[in-house]
């Protein structure tokens, strides 16, 4: 049952909890790990191919949902730009006392700069906090899907999934700030 | 308006610009682009008025199927602007109805 | 069609083209209980795929000329009285001559027809170009037929059918006759794929399908399909005020005009030039004709053939790079003498022919409907149709 | 002009077919009416699904470039700015540089793709209302903005993907409306835009668009179970463009003209030509592949195109039967995976065609 996702495009916590690509609370507490928010049987397996540790399994029927082997996953993030659906994130709740690190794909201009402050949006696109850019990675192998690492308040680690750059940064006319 | 920078497609390479005349006004166009793109780049979106009810029309399918974007080009009415490339000095006019023969 | 089909009626008209729908209309208007049946959709045969010409020019003096002129009067009335705009116009028609010889040949042609009651006029190049400035200045002259014109053939069929329906006629589409029951030389009923209807009269108003229906009562009729290919241009601003046909086409293709029908039948293909601009602005360009059975496909060769002829007459189409947007092929309802097959049939009371209208069905539809209605209701017709009886083929 | 195989349409299906056939030794022409080959691939700037063999994770634009290079390397003739306006048995009537020419071919593959459907509502003809695919063409191919504030009508994959791409091009998408209670496209595409703040309003439809000579206001409303707008639920969006993404229909005119038998399968976009395992239609020697054979996606178009190319090569004697069957089996396995997803329309088509399969087999062997 995926009512919320199917009717609004926003996956609910409850729907998320049933996905084989979403790590357990215990695993999350141990450090960076991939969160695969892929809830639909799509003929697709680049995530499996991309993982150097063999931590993601889709299997012979590539329509199967990706299964995360959370023991093998190191949270390297190579699966993030590989996912055509941009549905994989890496969450590290051990970053600091108050902050979590979030790695997200971000295919928009202008690319945020290290140290920059950005608005952080939840799955509905609501700004829930500010975040600080820790790292922006965009090698050729990522094929124009830059991966942005942003430090966010820990309590929103399972909510924030996108960033926009605020007006104060003098850009970003293309993203809605609120609904 | 032109989309100069794009996260996936990169920056538009500087190409040769040419000039075309639209309803008597000279505008700039990029060599090789269709007339419709040049017009939209110059914020023009109204291409013609229909015969029966004089309603405004513009681009609809952008691939030469629907013929909604036709204009009078170098005196020839019913020219599909979305698939006709600009040429230096081309004369383009808003089409009224099915155009006129002079 | 919703609901059940009628069980009984006075007249069944088979064929939902212009002849059938007009006949149903006039019968209904005369108070007859009438059923019109069509095996596909209304106007899905030749009536829905032609240039919509209404012409008296070609008609030799006698019943054909009388009928064509009377039919135009019916269209006048019909286009004013009914809700549909059937785009009927007596815009006039030029039969253009490319050579002096053609022009000379037209002189006796005009004289004979005017004696019979038509009002054709020979005009020279200057007058022609004055009236139609977009025609080629290389043309020599033309025959001007002020009363000829055009109609939207689809709208005409729908309008007659609608009007008939309003007067109580029942119209069944996708209804195909499978057998005709006759007893003691009298029509009794018609069986269809949707059931049987008892009836006193059956009117065979089919086009190229007419032989199939006649065969049901053992009649052989000499109708064969003559394929005609046409092109349709994009919508253009008005470039023609009248219908244009070239004299060569009249000679080659037009029935009972100047042509030698025997020669025509033998020849595999004839190419002519007819151009008619519709109210919407599209040009209808005719055509290439040949005898290929019921093959409705168009041919590659027809495009350059038709285009060449039309460009000779209307060079402006090249100047304005006019695009062809469609082509189609349909059939003349060809008869050996190119006259229609109309009226009662010897030895079978109640069976009436209304077919064989060659390429003039659209023009003649209303008058044929009216005459056949008269034939059934009052037993005689205002224009004699005896010479069109099936018996002439022996 | 004479070729062994003429392919109409230089999109993913046509190019894939040309590569396979040319590699086998067939003399191939790909004909396209556009100035640039690639069909709609060159506006697909997103990464494709699938697995490695489907070029998964590669952006459509790059797949287009790859295919084009492969076709050229294989010796395929690509005739651009050339319109096929008719097929008369084995003669293709082509129009190019204002000339009409005959192109004779022993085999013909129709890979003409699909065209966008539209939706009629008050104001739908105003400049600024356009197809979502049209918007994608203008923005990604021609690099001009079709509007600053856009409403998207329809939440199929096209509606969702184009919404995302409009944002990448700097536009603001105010909402996606979907008259069904559920999103039509893949949910990951939906999530990609909702987290950027674009609401997807399911059970909503567009009521009208108003404006003085251009789009100014779009009114949408919630629909009840009969898909009628519930009065009082209307709301206005100030927009300067409205994109219509309500599906595609196969551009099957040439297949009709060839006399191919058709079947009506709404899930595949309407009337589609009936074809067999070799992608051959009911007219011997005439093949179809890609959206014209049923609207799906580029990945499946490429596989079907490849099968058609191989089949044409076999029927022309360039591949022996067993070799062909092996190659086809490989392609079919890679095709099957697309028939297991929620969008398993092709499998359904196959089932619907099944009762014709016997006849089709016969045709393909004559």
Query: According to the 3-state scheme, what is the secondary structure of C307-323?
Result: HHHHHHHCCHHHHCCCC
D-chain residues near B62 (CB < 8 A): 130-131, 133-135, 137-138
The DSSP H or E segment spanning D359 is helix D345-365
- Cα–Cα distance for residue pair D304/D54, rounded to 1 Å: 12
The pLDDT tens digits of the residues spanning D177-236 come to 999 999 999 999 999 999 999 999 999 999 999 999 999 999 999 999 999 999 999 999
- In this prediction, does ipTM exceed 0.90? no
Angle ∠(C147,C18,C224) on CA atoms, nearest 5: 100
Q: Is residue C61 part of a domain?
A: no
* Closest Cβ opposite residue D134 in set B2, B59, B85: B59
Look at C237 and B76 and tell me if their CB atoms are within 8 Å: no
Distance from CA of A121 to the nearest CA of B (A): 20
Can you count the helices (H) and strands (E) in chain B? 1, 8
Tokens of D297: 């996606």
Residue D97 Cα to chain centre, angstroms: 27
| Predicted pLDDT at D355 | 53
Domains defined for chain B, CATH in brackets: 5-96 (3.10.20.440)
| Predicted pLDDT at D25 | 98
* D364 has a pLDDT exceeding 60: no
Residue C130 shares a structural domain with residue C162: no
Distance from CA of D199 to the nearest CA of A (A): 8
- Cα–Cα distance for residue pair C86/C163, rounded to 1 Å: 13
> What are the φ and ψ backbone dihedral angles of D62, each rounded to 5 degrees?
-75, -35
Q: Is residue C76 part of a domain?
A: no
The pLDDT tens digits of the residues spanning D343-355 come to 555 556 666 665 5
Picking from B86-90, D122-126, D268-272, which range would have the lowest pLDDT averaged per residue? Answer: D268-272
Of the two residues C74 and D268, the one the predictor is more confident about is C74
Residue C279 shares a structural domain with residue C244: yes
| Predicted pLDDT at C82 | 77
Residue C183 shares a structural domain with residue C305: no
D244: nearest CA partner in chain B: B60
The pLDDT tens digits of the residues spanning C122-174 come to 999 999 999 999 999 999 999 999 999 999 999 999 999 999 999 999 999 99
If pLDDT is split at 50, 70 and 90, which confidence band does A171 have? very low
| Predicted pLDDT at B79 | 95
> What are the φ and ψ backbone dihedral angles of D209, each rounded to 5 degrees?
-125, 135
Tokens of A13: 């916590």
Encode burial over C163-185: b for 16+ CB neighbours within 10 A, e otherwise: bbbebebbbbeebbbeebebeee
If pLDDT is split at 50, 70 and 90, which confidence band does B101 have? confident
Tokens of D153: 């009508």
Peptide bond into C129 cis (omega under 30): no
| Predicted pLDDT at D335 | 81
What are the residues whose beta carbons fall under 8 Å from the beta carbon of D170, sequence distance 6 or more? A173, A174, B3, D145
D neighbour chains, 3+ CB pairs within 8 Å: A, B, C
| Predicted pLDDT at A173 | 37
D interface mutation test: which of B58, B86, B95 has the most D CBs within 10 A? B58
% of chain D beyond a pLDDT of 70: 92
Q: Is residue C63 part of a domain?
A: no
Distance from CA of D300 to the nearest CA of B (A): 22
CATH number at residue C36: 3.50.50.60
Angle between the N-to-C axes of helices D12-24 and D298-315, in degrees from 0 to 180, rounded to the nearest 10: 30
Residue C367 shares a structural domain with residue C240: no
Residue C283 shares a structural domain with residue C168: no
Q: Is residue C187 part of a domain?
A: yes
What are the residues whose beta carbons fall under 8 Å from the beta carbon of C294, sequence distance 6 or more? C208, C225, C331
C-chain residues near B98 (CB < 8 A): 235-237, 281
Q: Is residue C55 part of a domain?
A: no
A142: nearest CA partner in chain B: B8
D-chain residues near C300 (CB < 8 A): 86, 88, 91, 93, 102
Distance from CA of B14 to the nearest CA of A (A): 20
Residue C320 shares a structural domain with residue C237: yes
B69: nearest CA partner in chain D: D127
Look at C300 and D102 and tell me if their CB atoms are within 8 Å: yes
Boundary (domain end) residue, out of C334, C364, C379: C334
D interface mutation test: which of A9, A105, A163 has the most D CBs within 10 A? A9
Residue C128 shares a structural domain with residue C235: yes
* Closest Cβ opposite residue D142 in set B37, B61, B68: B37
The pLDDT tens digits of the residues spanning A4-42 come to 899 999 999 999 999 999 999 999 999 999 999 999 988
The DSSP code sequence of D61-96 is HHHHHHHHHHHHHTT-EEE-S-EEEEEETTEEEEEE
The DSSP code sequence of D191-223 is HHHHTTT--EEETEEEEEEE-SSS--EEEEEEB
The DSSP H or E segment spanning C196 is strand C195-198
Tokens of C162: 């609608």
Whole-Å CA distances, A79 to A30, A109, D45, D57: 19, 22, 19, 11
| Contact assessment for residue C91 and residue C53, using Cβ atoms and an 8 Å cutoff | no
Look at C300 and D93 and tell me if their CB atoms are within 8 Å: yes
Q: Is residue C87 part of a domain?
A: no
% of chain B beyond a pLDDT of 70: 98
Picking from A72-76, A160-164, C252-256, D78-82, which range would have the lowest pLDDT averaged per residue? Answer: C252-256
| Contact assessment for residue D289 and residue D303, using Cβ atoms and an 8 Å cutoff | no
Distance from CA of D154 to the nearest CA of A (A): 13
D-chain residues near B63 (CB < 8 A): 34, 115, 133-134, 137
Look at B61 and D61 and tell me if their CB atoms are within 8 Å: no
> What are the φ and ψ backbone dihedral angles of A60, each rounded to 5 degrees?
-65, -45
B interface mutation test: which of C320, C324, C325 has the most B CBs within 10 A? C320
| Predicted pLDDT at C262 | 44
Q: Is residue C82 part of a domain?
A: no
Look at B98 and C236 and tell me if their CB atoms are within 8 Å: yes
Domain extent for C344? 11-50+154-222+338-393
The DSSP code sequence of A36-86 is E---S--SB-HHHHH-TT--EE--SSTTSPPEE-TTT-----THHHH-TT-
| Predicted pLDDT at D282 | 92
Contacting C residues, span 188-217, partner chain B, CB-CB under 8 Å: none
Boundary (domain end) residue, out of C314, C334, C354: C334
Burial of D52 (0-12, 13-18, 19+ CB in 10 A): exposed
The count of domains in chain C is 2
Tokens of C150: 């055009």
* Closest Cβ opposite residue D146 in set B12, B40, B46: B40
Residue C208 shares a structural domain with residue C235: no
Distance from CA of D48 to the nearest CA of A (A): 6
Instruction: Spell out, as residue ranges, where chain C has pLDDT lower than 70.
Output: 1-3, 249-269
Angle between the N-to-C axes of helices C361-377 and C18-29, in degrees from 0 to 180, rounded to the nearest 10: 30
D256 interface with C at CB cutoff 8 Å: no
Residues β-bridged to residue B56: B49
Residue C170 shares a structural domain with residue C272: no
A-chain residues near D200 (CB < 8 A): 8-9
Tokens of A45: 């397996």
Q: Coil, strand, or helix at residue D346?
A: helix
Q: Is residue C169 part of a domain?
A: yes
Residue C125 shares a structural domain with residue C158: no
| Contact assessment for residue C51 and residue C274, using Cβ atoms and an 8 Å cutoff | yes
The DSSP H or E segment spanning D288 is strand D286-288
The pLDDT tens digits of the residues spanning D99-135 come to 889 999 999 999 999 999 999 999 999 999 999 999 9
Find tokens 């007006």 and name the residue. A167
**What value does the mean pLDDT take over residues B30-39?**
96
- Judged by phi (left if over 0) then psi (alpha if -120 to 50, else beta), residue D318 lies in alpha
The DSSP code sequence of A111-154 is PP-TT-EEEEEETTS-EEEEEEEEEEE--GGGTT--EEEEEEEG
Establish whether chain B is in contact with chain A, requiring a minimum of 3 CB pairs below 8 angstroms. yes
| Predicted pLDDT at D356 | 53
**What value does the mean pLDDT take over residues B75-80?**
94
- Cα–Cα distance for residue pair B48/B94, rounded to 1 Å: 5
In this structure, the number of other CB atoms found within 10 A of the CB of residue A1 comes to: 8
Look at B9 and D45 and tell me if their CB atoms are within 8 Å: yes
Establish whether chain C is in contact with chain A, requiring a minimum of 3 CB pairs below 8 angstroms. no
Look at B8 and A108 and tell me if their CB atoms are within 8 Å: no
D-chain residues near B43 (CB < 8 A): none
Residue C211 shares a structural domain with residue C302: no
Mean pLDDT of chain D: 92
| Contact assessment for residue C270 and residue C300, using Cβ atoms and an 8 Å cutoff | no
Look at B5 and A107 and tell me if their CB atoms are within 8 Å: no
CATH number at residue C279: 3.30.9.10
Tokens of A15: 């729907």
Boundary (domain end) residue, out of C307, C334, C361: C334
Residues β-bridged to residue A104: A148
Residue C160 shares a structural domain with residue C22: yes
Tokens of C352: 């009436």
**What value does the mean pLDDT take over residues D8-29?**
98
D-chain residues near A11 (CB < 8 A): 187, 191
């Amino acid at each position: 049952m995926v009512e919320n996702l199917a009717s609004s495009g926003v996956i609910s916590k409850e729907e998320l909890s049933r996905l084989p690509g979403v790590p357990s609370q215990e695993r999350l507490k141990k450090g960076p790990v991939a969160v695969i928010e892929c809830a639909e049987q799509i003929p697709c397996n680049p995530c499996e191919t991309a993982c150097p540790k063999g931590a993601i399994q889709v299997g012979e029927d590539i329509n199967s949902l990706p299964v995360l082997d959370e023991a093998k996953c190191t949270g390297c993030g190579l699966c993030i730009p590989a996912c055509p659906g941009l549905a994989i994130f890496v969450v590290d709740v051990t970053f600091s006392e108050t902050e979590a690190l979030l790695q997200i794909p971000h295919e928009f201009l202008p690319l945020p700069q290290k140290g920059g402050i950005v608005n952080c949006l939840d799955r509905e696109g609501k700004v829930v906090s500010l975040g600080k850019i820790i790292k922006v990675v965009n090698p050729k192998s990522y094929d124009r899907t830059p991966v942005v690492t942003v430090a966010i308040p820990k309590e929103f680690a399972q909510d924030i999934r996108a960033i926009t750059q605020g007006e104060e940064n003098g850009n970003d006319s293309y993203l809605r700030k609120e609904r | 308006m032109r989309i100069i920078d794009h996260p996936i497609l990169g920056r538009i390479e500087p190409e040769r610009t040419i000039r075309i005349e639209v309803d008597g006004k000279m505008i700039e166009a990029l060599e090789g682009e269709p007339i419709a793109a040049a017009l939209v780049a110059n914020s023009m979106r109204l291409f013609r008025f229909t015969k029966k009810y004089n309603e405004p029309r513009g681009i609809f399918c952008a691939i030469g199927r629907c013929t909604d974007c036709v204009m009078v080009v170098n005196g020839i009415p019913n020219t599909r602007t979305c698939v006709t490339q600009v040429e230096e000095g081309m004369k383009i006019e808003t089409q009224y109805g099915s155009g006129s023969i002079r | 069609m919703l609901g059940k089909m009628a069980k009984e009626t006075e007249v069944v008209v088979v064929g939902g083209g212009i002849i059938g729908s007009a006949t149903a209309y006039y019968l209904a208007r005369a108070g007859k209980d009438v059923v019109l049946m069509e095996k596909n959709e209304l106007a899905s045969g030749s009536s829905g795929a032609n240039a919509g010409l209404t012409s008296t020019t070609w008609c030799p003096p006698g019943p054909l000329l009388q009928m064509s002129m009377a039919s135009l009067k019916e269209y006048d009335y019909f286009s004013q009285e009914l809700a549909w705009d059937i785009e009927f116009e007596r815009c006039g028609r030029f039969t253009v001559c490319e050579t002096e010889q053609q022009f000379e040949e037209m002189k006796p042609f005009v004289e004979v027809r005017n004696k019979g009651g038509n009002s054709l006029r020979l005009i020279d190049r200057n007058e022609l170009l004055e009236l139609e400035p977009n025609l080629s200045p290389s043309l020599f002259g033309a025959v001007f037929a002020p009363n000829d014109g055009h109609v939207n053939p689809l709208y005409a069929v729908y309008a007659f059918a609608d009007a008939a329906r309003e007067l109580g006629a029942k119209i069944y589409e996708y209804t195909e006759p499978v057998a005709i029951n006759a007893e003691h030389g009298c029509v009794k009923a018609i069986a269809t794929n949707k059931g049987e209807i008892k009836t006193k009269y059956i009117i065979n108003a089919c086009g190229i399908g007419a032989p199939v229906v006649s065969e049901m009562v053992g009649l052989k009729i000499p109708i064969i399909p003559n394929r005609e290919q046409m092109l349709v241009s994009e919508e253009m601003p008005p470039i023609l005020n009248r219908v244009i046909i070239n004299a060569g086409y009249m000679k080659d293709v037009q029935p009972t005009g100047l042509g030698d029908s025997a020669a025509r039948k033998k020849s595999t293909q004839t190419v002519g030039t007819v151009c008619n601009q519709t109210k919407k602005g599209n040009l209808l360009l005719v055509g290439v004709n040949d005898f290929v059975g019921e093959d409705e496909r168009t041919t590659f060769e027809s495009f350059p053939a038709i285009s060449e002829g039309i460009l000779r007459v209307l060079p402006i189409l090249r100047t304005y790079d006019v695009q062809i947007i469609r082509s189609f092929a349909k059939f003349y309802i060809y008869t050996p003498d190119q006259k229609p097959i109309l009226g009662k049939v010897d030895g079978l009371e109640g069976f009436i022919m209304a077919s064989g209208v060659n390429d003039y069905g659209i023009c003649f539809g209303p008058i044929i409907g009216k005459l056949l209605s008269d034939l059934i209701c009052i037993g005689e017709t205002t224009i004699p149709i005896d010479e069109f009886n099936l018996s002439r083929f022996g | 002009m004479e070729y062994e195989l003429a392919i109409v349409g230089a999109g993913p299906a046509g190019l894939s077919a040309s590569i396979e056939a040319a590699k086998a030794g067939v003399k191939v022409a790909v004909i396209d009416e556009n100035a640039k080959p690639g069909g709609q691939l060159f506006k697909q700037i997103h990464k494709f699904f699938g697995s490695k063999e489907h070029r998964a994770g590669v952006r459509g634009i790059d797949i287009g470039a790859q295919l084009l290079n492969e076709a050229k390397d294989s010796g395929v003739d690509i005739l651009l700015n050339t319109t096929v306006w008719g097929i008369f048995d084995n003669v293709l009537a082509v129009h190019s540089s204002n000339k009409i020419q005959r192109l004779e071919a022993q085999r013909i593959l129709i890979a003409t793709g699909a065209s966008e459907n539209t939706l009629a509502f008050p104001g739908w003809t105003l400049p600024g209302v356009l197809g979502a695919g049209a918007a994608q063409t203008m923005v990604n191919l021609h690099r001009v903005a079709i509007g600053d504030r856009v409403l998207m009508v329809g939440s199929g994959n096209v509606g969702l993907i184009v919404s995302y791409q409009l944002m990448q091009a700097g536009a603001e998408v105010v909402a996606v409306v979907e008259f069904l209670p559920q999103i039509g496209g893949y949910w990951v595409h939906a999530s990609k835009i909702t987290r950027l703040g674009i609401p997807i309003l399911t059970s909503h439809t567009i009521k009208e668009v108003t404006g003085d000579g251009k789009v100014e206001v779009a009114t949408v409303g919630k629909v009840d179970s009969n898909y009628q707008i519930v009065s009082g639920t209307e709301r206005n969006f100030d927009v300067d463009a409205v994109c219509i993404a309500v599906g595609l229909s196969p551009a099957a005119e040439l297949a009709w003209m060839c006399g191919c038998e058709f079947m009506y399968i709404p899930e595949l976009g309407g009337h589609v030509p009936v074809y067999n395992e070799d992608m051959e239609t009911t007219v011997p020697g005439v093949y179809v592949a890609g959206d014209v054979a049923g609207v799906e996606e580029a990945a499946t178009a490429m596989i079907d195109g490849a099968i058609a190319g191989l089949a044409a090569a076999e029927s022309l004697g360039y591949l022996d039967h067993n070799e062909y069957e092996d190659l086809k089996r490989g392609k079919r396995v890679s095709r099957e995976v697309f028939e297991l997803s929620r969008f398993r329309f092709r499998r359904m088509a196959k089932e619907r065609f099944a009762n014709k399969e016997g006849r089709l087999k016969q045709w393909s062997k004559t």
